[in-house]
Amino acid sequence: MTSTTGPARARRILGRPFGVGDLTLTNRIVMAPMTRSLSPGGVPGDDVARYYARRAEAEVGLIITEGTFIEHPSAGMSDDIPRLWGADALAGWRHVVDSVHAVGGKIIPQLWHVGVAREPGTGPIASAASVGPSGIDLDGSAKGEALSLSDIDDLVAAYVAAAATAQRLGFDGLEVHGAHGYLIDQFLWERTNQRTDAHGGNLAARVRFAAEIVAAVRGAVSPGFPIFFRLSQWKIGQFDARIAHTPGEFEQILLPLVEAGVDVFHASTRRYWLPEFEGSDLNLAGWAKKLTGKSTVTVGSVGLDAEFVGPSGRAGQSAVTGIDELLDRAERDEFDLVAVGRALIADPEWARKTLADRSGEVQPYHARQLASLH
């Protein structure tokens, strides 16, 4: 179906400016980070620059890039996913940044390490061992190597280097990927974190690794350079997983990250309209804002009638649907920003059409669109 929302309301709510630190956005629409695996050798090319710039030019307020690997031997699992190190990749990213800025857009990179989600023998450095907090995969089986304390120090340093590089390249902020069962999330989740040292045990200990990264990154960039932090309950292939079972537990995760320097929480859900905890209609982003007072980003099947089901289930399509409930929630300030994923792959002009009440012209999503950048 198409939205019946009038143009005045859509633009009034989503078209409001937003600012955090030195970052000022013309509206509340964000392009969600989506792995495309179309950067051969880890180098984003001209097609990647055009892909992001086209959406920025069509009124997406903020671009969050697909996850980009930090410089650590076991960070990545594909040679076709971009990296944030090496002269060739950095030249590519500078071109991306310049292209987005040239059309008046804003862009931040997502800093990524996949942890034990990496299959041995893959990625930019195939000989590296897969690593995680305890050498435990998302399904609870043994996989990879447990990180030592010195290994953890090295990883924090790698995030710091990536953050400093992002600012040097001209990005407008950065996002730390702490969601979906990747490295940082593996520390947060009790199933994959069975450590008995200061980085494992109760929630305060499990969040320590994430907080150390954020604090170190905060110290490596200018005070006004905003730090977004993406987190989730669900993991790839483990959609019922939870790092927090109650608002109180969620608060124990969030507050150390606030103290460390997070400016915006990007709360990833597969369906933005679902309540997160019993007794309230708030979604995960709504709870993050309520518990911390920080700005938040919501995400999850915005503008689509079928949810995201992960890399193994991307086949198929999703019809265009209205965003009236999204606008209802945004109007009461449940969250501050709205991240749009597959709908923006399908139609680069989704933001412009939505703000102008032209949703009847929006192109539907189909998995075949993942094969190329357009």
In this prediction, residue 1 has a pLDDT band, given cuts at 50, 70 and 90, of very low
Q: Give the residue with greater pLDDT, 4 vs 200.
A: 200
Closest by Cα among 326, 271, 305 to 13: 326
| Predicted confidence (pLDDT) at residue 4 exceeds the cutoff of 90 | no
Query: Could you read off the pLDDT of 128-173 as tens digits, one per residue?
Result: 999 999 999 999 999 999 999 999 999 999 999 999 999 999 999 9
- The per-residue pLDDT for range 182-217, each reduced to its tens digit, is 999 999 999 999 999 999 999 999 999 999 999 999
pLDDT attached to residue 18: 98
State residue 359's pLDDT score. Answer: 85
Full-model pTM: 0.95
Q: DSSP states of 76-123 as a string?
A: -S-TTS-BS-SHHHHHHHHHHHHHHHHTT--EEEEEE--GGGSPTT-S
Q: Which helix (H) or strand (E) holds 228?
A: strand 227-232
Q: What is the pLDDT of residue 199?
A: 98
Name the phi and psi angles at 220, rounded to 5.
Answer: -95, -10
Catalytic-labelled residue, pool 51, 52, 159, 182: 182
- Helix, strand, coil percentages for the chain (3-state, nearest 5): 35, 15, 45
Q: Is 272 a catalytic residue?
A: no
Q: Which residue's structure tokens are 């103290």?
A: 259
Q: What is the model's pLDDT at position 296? A: 98
pLDDT at 17 over 80: yes
Please count the CA atoms within 13 angstroms of the CA of 270 that sit on its side-chain side.
15
User: Is pLDDT above 70 for 64?
Assistant: yes
The Cα–Cα gap between 217 and 261 comes to 8
Model pLDDT, residue 309: 55
pLDDT, tens digit, 9 for 90 and up, residues 305-320:
766 555 434 447 788 8
User: Could you give the percent of the chain with pLDDT greater than 70?
Assistant: 95
374: pLDDT strictly greater than 70: yes
The pLDDT value recorded for residue 8 is 85
**Mean pLDDT on 258-263:** 98
DSSP code at position 320? B
Q: What would the pLDDT profile of 99-121 be if each residue is shown by its tens digit?
A: 999 999 999 999 999 999 999 99
Q: Specify the pLDDT at position 210.
A: 98
